[in-house]
Structure 1
Amino acid sequence: MTTLITGATGNVGRLLVADLVARGVDLRALSRDPTKAALPDGVEVAEGDLSSAGGAVFDGVDTAFVFPADEGVDGFVERALDAGVQRFVVLSSLAVSERNARDGGSATAAHHRAVEHAVTSRTDAHIILRPGNFATNLLFWAFPIRSGYPVRIPYPTSSQVLIHEADVAAAAAEALSSPDSFGPIVELTGPASLTKIEQLGAISAAISREIPHIEIGPDEFRADMAQYMPSGIVEMLLRYWSETVDEPEVPLHSQLPEALASRIGGGTPLARWAQDHRSDFTG
């Protein structure tokens, strides 16, 4: 039988596909443009997205990895079930967790709650993965660092727990390969809470040079982002960072199956993530 991967060309998806290929899993990846997918040899690439997938996309598929797309998840799950797909592994967010009250009312939580509901309301054969904040969010700093500009940082002493996307891909691969060893919900974060200055320090160590930074206030950040980011997202970030100055995020982990725990332990350190992404910060 075949495993269908949506979001196959994203940060998590590419690593997930590579992991499953190494295991010898028969894969089909969904991509809007198969000619640009650049996935490993032997991976069948079907054209489409969650809104349009149907028919032959589901032929022979018994398991699907569900990426939390902005739209189309409900219809995708309906069509998948009608076509005989038996199990779903869903990429959600820790924002949905009852243990993460800070984010419970956010737009991120609302979106991922709807993604989860699209699956859980239709079938019990699911595993929900809820990762915390991705370290890839730090790629926002890549341009100024590559260019030698100071990184402009609001709330530099705020502390977050950042997860390596490889840990999320590893969890997804294990869930798809050995579903019986998982509970219905798996929560994952990075291993430690680090201030923004410490996060910058991890990147600095990886590229072997000091990175200058400037502390800026909320209004300066709003002005910086006015052309690039919706105001609602800007305000959500500022609120999040301000709250994590005095109340730092803490690592949250579900009890992990032995095979997954042996791979990622309590989470990959940010220093390793920075090494893995060194080229993003050096050009």
Structure 2
Amino acid sequence: MAILVTGAAGNIGRHIVSNALEAGTSVRALVRRPAEAQLPADVDVVPGDMTDLDAVRRALDGVEALYLFPVLDVVPAIAQLAREAGLRTVVFLSGAWTAGLSLRDRESWTYAQYVEAEAAVEAAGLEWTMLRPGPFMTNMLWWSRSIKSERVVHAPYAAATCPAIHEADIADVATAALLEPGHAGARYMLTGPAQVSQIEQSQALSAALGEEITFDELTADQWRDSVGRFLRPGIAADLLRDWSETAADPASALPVHDTVQRVTDKPARTIGQWAQEHLDAFQ
């Protein structure tokens, strides 16, 4: 069996590549800059961007399953190309908000776009699995520069909470859906093992570093101004609403789900594990 991993140089994709190779599966990776990707030598690397449909078509030739990273503008076209190429399985990285569990999710900037993308994957007529993870633990990497330079986190809503998930857990579930039977038609809600507030996340990093990290609580406007250069306004607005509402009422946060344990037969990784594994980013 051979699989194609899009987004293979990213946080989740790298783990999927490693998992699949360990399972004895042939892996092809579509990557924008192969020289910088630093993938294992036995990965069949196809140069190309996901928006380059000719490159996608070449990469799909001869594989049986696809891990589809959410470049939303081209998801419908790639799903159709996968069908034309005779693929059996597609595993799509969506998001927890797509389930529309709360008014906040249904009114979010991202909701309609991901609902449309999931519908396009379903319409392609493949055996599909939707991965719907909650907030990623890797979001803490946003704090790396200020932690490195001054041992401070600058962020709003210290009490905001979520069941943040380790990227390796998402990859483990994705790998199971790509390589094992029994996952077709599943919409997997994926979370970490517990609710963790932003201040608790900073405390986990502090414990891993063995040094005190101060939490400098910004106002919403201060934070919005600080991220305006790299974060879309719609995403920033979604995050601020989520943080403000869960800080005021932790019960309004996305519930913890045991999907990682059920699918992989391993407990979801904790925030402390993530902090220990990513120390280099904060030192």
After TM superposition, the score normalised by the length of structure 1 is 0.91
Q: Which residue of 2 aligns with 1:83?
A: 85
Match of 2:139 among 120, 137, 145: 137
Shift of 1:124: 4.8
Structure 2 contact 192–269 (Cα < 8 Å) conserved: yes
Give the RMSD, CA atoms, in angstroms. Answer: 1.9
- Report the Cα distance in structure 2 between the residues aligned to 1:256 and 1:207, rounded to whole angstroms: 27
Match of 2:27 in 1: 27
Mapping for residues 110-189 of structure 1, pairs under 5 Å: 110-181=112-183, 183-189=185-191
Amino acid at match of 2:257: H
SS of aligned partner of 2:231: coil
Query: Match for 2:132: what amino acid?
Result: R
CA gap of 1:62–1:231, structure 2 versus 1, over 3 A, is: closer
**Compared with structure 1, are the counterparts of its residues 29 and 252 closer, same or farther at alpha carbon in structure 2 (3 Å cutoff)?**
same
3-state DSSP of counterpart to 1:9: coil
Q: Distance in 1 between matches of 2:86 and 2:36?
A: 29
Identity of aligned pairs, percent?
37
Say if 1:51 and 1:75, in contact at 8 Å, map to a contact too. Answer: no
2:77 is the counterpart of 1:48: no
Q: How far apart are the structure 2 equivalents of 1:205 and 1:60? A: 47
The alignment partner of 2:163 has SS state of strand
**Aligned partners of 1:181 and 1:71: how far apart in 2?**
26
Contact 2:191 2:258 in 1 (8 A): no
Offset from partner CA, 1:107-142 (integer Å, 9 cap, x none): 222232222122111215111111111011111110
What SS is found at the alignment partner of 2:73?
coil
Letter in 2 for 1:271: G
- Give, as a single letter, the amino acid of the residue that structure 2 aligns with 1:78: Q
Aligned to 2:274: 273
Separation (CA, whole Å) in 2 of partners of 1:229 and 1:255:
30
For residue 97 of structure 1, report the CA deviation from its aligned partner.
1.0
The alpha-carbon deviation at position 100 of structure 1 amounts to: 4.5
Which shows bigger deviation, 182-191 or 1-10?
Answer: 182-191
**In structure 2, do the counterparts of structure 1 residues 86 and 161 end up closer, same or farther at CA, with 3 Å as the change threshold?**
same
Write the distance in 2 (CA, Å) between the matches of 1:15 and 1:277: 14
1:197-212 residue pairs with structure 2 within 5 A? 197-212=199-214
**Partner residue, 1:72:** 74
* 1:90-105 to 2 correspondences below 5 Å: 90-105=92-107
User: Gaps spanning 5+ residues in structure 2: where?
Assistant: none
Instruction: Please give the alpha-carbon distance, in whole angstroms, between the structure 2 residues aligned to 1:66 and 1:227.
Output: 27
Per the TM alignment, residue 226 of structure 1 is displaced from its structure 2 partner at its CA by 3.8
Within the candidate set 240, 243, 258, 2:242 is matched to 240
Q: Deviations over 1:42-96 (max 9, x none)?
A: 1100112333234432221111111111421111111121111121111111010
Three-state SS of the structure 1 residue aligned to 2:91 is strand
Counterpart-to-counterpart distance in 1, 2:21 and 2:11: 16
Distance in 2 of aligned mates of 1:167 and 1:150:
28
The DSSP-based 3-state class of the residue aligned with 1:71 is: helix
Q: 1:213 to 1:60 in 2, by over 3 A?
A: same
The count of aligned residue pairs is 279
Aligned-partner Cα distance in 2 for 1:199–1:255: 22
Counterpart of 1:195? 197
Whether the 8 Å contact between 1:186 and 1:254 is mirrored in structure 2 is no
Q: TM-score, normalised by structure 2?
A: 0.91
1:233 aligned counterpart, secondary structure = helix
Q: Distance in 1 between matches of 2:83 and 2:115?
A: 20
Q: Which runs of 5+ in 1 are unaligned?
A: none
Deviates more, 1:242-251 or 1:89-98: 242-251
Amino acid at match of 1:12: I
Distance change >3 Å, CA 124–CA 79, structure 1 → 2? closer
C-alpha distance 203-225 of structure 1, shift in aligned 2 (>3 A): same
C-alpha distance in 1 between matches for 2:108 and 2:142: 21
> 1:203-222 maps to which residues of 2 (within 5 A)?
203-222=205-224
